[in-house]
Protein backbone atom coordinates (compact mmCIF):
# COMPACT_ATOMS: atom_id res chain seq x y z
CA UNK A 1 0.00 0.00 0.00
CA UNK A 2 1.52 3.28 -1.09
CA UNK A 3 -0.24 6.31 0.34
CA UNK A 4 1.73 8.88 -1.59
CA UNK A 5 2.18 12.00 0.50
CA UNK A 6 4.18 14.46 -1.58
CA UNK A 7 5.35 17.46 0.40
CA UNK A 8 6.92 20.53 -1.17
CA UNK A 9 9.85 19.37 -3.32
CA UNK A 10 10.99 16.46 -1.13
CA UNK A 11 10.50 13.79 -3.79
CA UNK A 12 11.89 12.78 -7.15
CA UNK A 13 10.78 10.64 -10.07
CA UNK A 14 13.26 7.83 -9.36
CA UNK A 15 12.08 7.36 -5.76
CA UNK A 16 8.42 7.49 -6.74
CA UNK A 17 8.97 4.92 -9.53
CA UNK A 18 10.78 2.58 -7.15
CA UNK A 19 7.97 2.84 -4.62
CA UNK A 20 5.29 2.27 -7.27
CA UNK A 21 7.07 -0.81 -8.62
CA UNK A 22 6.95 -2.26 -5.09
CA UNK A 23 3.28 -1.45 -4.50
CA UNK A 24 0.00 -3.20 -5.21
CA UNK A 25 -2.18 -0.28 -4.20
CA UNK A 26 -1.74 3.44 -4.74
CA UNK A 27 -3.70 6.11 -2.87
CA UNK A 28 -3.30 9.69 -4.07
CA UNK A 29 -5.17 12.95 -3.84
CA UNK A 30 -5.85 15.19 -6.84
CA UNK A 31 -2.73 17.30 -6.36
CA UNK A 32 -0.53 14.20 -6.16
CA UNK A 33 -2.17 12.78 -9.28
CA UNK A 34 -1.27 16.00 -11.10
CA UNK A 35 2.35 15.65 -9.96
CA UNK A 36 2.44 12.05 -11.24
CA UNK A 37 0.86 13.19 -14.51
CA UNK A 38 3.62 15.77 -14.94
CA UNK A 39 6.47 13.48 -13.81
CA UNK A 40 5.53 10.69 -16.19
CA UNK A 41 4.18 12.82 -19.05
CA UNK A 42 0.74 11.25 -19.08
CA UNK A 43 -2.39 12.53 -20.78
CA UNK A 44 -4.37 15.46 -19.39
CA UNK A 45 -7.39 13.36 -18.50
CA UNK A 46 -7.45 12.16 -14.86
CA UNK A 47 -9.10 8.85 -15.77
CA UNK A 48 -6.47 8.18 -18.43
CA UNK A 49 -3.69 9.04 -15.99
CA UNK A 50 -5.22 6.63 -13.48
CA UNK A 51 -5.38 3.89 -16.15
CA UNK A 52 -1.80 4.54 -17.26
CA UNK A 53 -0.48 4.38 -13.69
CA UNK A 54 -2.54 1.28 -12.99
CA UNK A 55 -1.19 -0.54 -16.04
CA UNK A 56 2.42 0.64 -15.92
CA UNK A 57 2.93 -0.33 -12.30
CA UNK A 58 0.63 -3.38 -12.34
CA UNK A 59 -1.43 -2.14 -9.45
CA UNK A 60 -4.29 -4.03 -7.87
CA UNK A 61 -6.16 -0.86 -6.86
CA UNK A 62 -5.75 2.86 -7.35
CA UNK A 63 -7.61 5.23 -5.04
CA UNK A 64 -8.08 8.92 -5.74
CA UNK A 65 -9.33 11.16 -2.96
CA UNK A 66 -10.90 14.41 -4.08
CA UNK A 67 -11.80 16.23 -0.86
CA UNK A 68 -15.32 17.62 -0.91
CA UNK A 69 -15.91 15.97 -4.31
CA UNK A 70 -15.55 12.47 -2.88
CA UNK A 71 -13.30 9.70 -4.10
CA UNK A 72 -12.72 7.06 -6.76
CA UNK A 73 -11.46 3.51 -6.41
CA UNK A 74 -10.30 1.66 -9.52
CA UNK A 75 -9.53 -2.05 -9.81
CA UNK A 76 -8.53 -2.28 -13.47
CA UNK A 77 -11.96 -2.98 -14.84
CA UNK A 78 -14.37 -0.80 -12.88
CA UNK A 79 -14.57 2.42 -10.89
CA UNK A 80 -16.31 2.83 -7.58
CA UNK A 81 -17.37 6.44 -7.00
CA UNK A 82 -18.40 7.90 -3.65
CA UNK A 83 -19.50 11.41 -2.90
CA UNK A 84 -18.30 13.20 0.20
CA UNK A 85 -20.61 13.72 3.13
CA UNK A 86 -20.14 17.47 3.51
CA UNK A 87 -22.10 17.86 6.72
CA UNK A 88 -20.52 18.78 10.04
CA UNK A 89 -16.85 18.79 8.98
CA UNK A 90 -14.75 19.64 12.02
CA UNK A 91 -11.21 18.64 11.05
CA UNK A 92 -9.86 16.86 7.97
CA UNK A 93 -6.48 15.98 9.54
CA UNK A 94 -6.17 12.20 9.59
CA UNK A 95 -9.00 11.58 7.10
CA UNK A 96 -6.62 10.32 4.41
CA UNK A 97 -5.01 7.90 6.84
CA UNK A 98 -8.44 6.65 7.95
CA UNK A 99 -9.36 6.18 4.28
CA UNK A 100 -6.15 4.17 3.72
CA UNK A 101 -6.88 2.04 6.81
CA UNK A 102 -10.34 1.26 5.43
CA UNK A 103 -8.88 0.33 2.04
CA UNK A 104 -6.37 -1.97 3.69
CA UNK A 105 -8.94 -3.68 5.90
CA UNK A 106 -11.35 -4.12 3.00
CA UNK A 107 -8.67 -5.67 0.84
CA UNK A 108 -7.54 -8.01 3.60
CA UNK A 109 -11.12 -9.23 3.95
CA UNK A 110 -11.39 -9.63 0.15
CA UNK A 111 -14.45 -7.40 0.01
CA UNK A 112 -16.01 -6.35 -3.29
CA UNK A 113 -14.79 -3.04 -4.72
CA UNK A 114 -17.80 -0.99 -3.62
CA UNK A 115 -17.67 -2.43 -0.08
CA UNK A 116 -13.96 -1.61 0.23
CA UNK A 117 -14.70 1.90 -0.91
CA UNK A 118 -17.67 2.28 1.45
CA UNK A 119 -15.56 1.16 4.40
CA UNK A 120 -12.76 3.59 3.50
CA UNK A 121 -15.11 6.54 3.14
CA UNK A 122 -17.06 5.67 6.30
CA UNK A 123 -13.89 5.82 8.38
CA UNK A 124 -12.62 8.99 6.66
CA UNK A 125 -15.97 10.76 7.11
CA UNK A 126 -16.01 9.90 10.82
CA UNK A 127 -12.56 11.45 11.25
CA UNK A 128 -13.73 14.58 9.38
CA UNK A 129 -16.61 14.96 11.82
CA UNK A 130 -14.25 14.66 14.80
CA UNK A 131 -11.56 16.80 16.34
CA UNK A 132 -8.02 15.53 15.92
CA UNK A 133 -6.39 13.02 13.62
CA UNK A 134 -7.09 9.89 15.68
CA UNK A 135 -10.42 10.23 17.48
CA UNK A 136 -11.76 7.30 19.48
CA UNK A 137 -14.23 5.31 17.43
CA UNK A 138 -17.66 4.91 19.05
CA UNK A 139 -18.94 1.35 19.53
CA UNK A 140 -21.75 1.77 16.96
CA UNK A 141 -19.25 2.77 14.25
CA UNK A 142 -17.06 -0.20 15.09
CA UNK A 143 -20.10 -2.51 15.01
CA UNK A 144 -21.24 -1.22 11.62
CA UNK A 145 -17.68 -1.45 10.28
CA UNK A 146 -17.41 -5.05 11.43
CA UNK A 147 -20.78 -5.75 9.75
CA UNK A 148 -19.41 -4.35 6.49
CA UNK A 149 -16.30 -6.51 6.81
CA UNK A 150 -18.27 -9.66 7.51
CA UNK A 151 -20.57 -9.04 4.53
CA UNK A 152 -23.78 -8.56 6.52
Tens digits of residue pLDDT in 116-139:
999 999 888 888 777 777 777 777
Taking residues 12-23, report their average pLDDT: 96
Q: Cα separation of 135 and 129, whole Å?
A: 10
Whole-number pLDDT of residue 38: 92
Cβ(80)–Cβ(113) under 8 Å? Answer: yes
pLDDT: which is higher, 143 or 31: 31
Helix axes 95-108, 139-150, angle to 10 degrees: 40
> What is 2-150's CATH topology?
3.40.1190
Can you give the pTM of this predicted structure?
0.86
Average pLDDT along the chain: 87
Instruction: Please report the pLDDT score of residue 148 as a whole number.
Output: 73
The mean per-residue pLDDT over the stretch 70-95 comes to 84
Mean per-residue pLDDT, 61-84:
92
3-state SS, residue 65? strand
Amino acid sequence: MLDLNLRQSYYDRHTIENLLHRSDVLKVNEEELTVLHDLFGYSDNSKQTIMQLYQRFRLRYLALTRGERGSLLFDGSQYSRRTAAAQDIVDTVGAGDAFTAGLTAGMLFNLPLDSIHMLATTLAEFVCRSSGATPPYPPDLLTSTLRILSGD
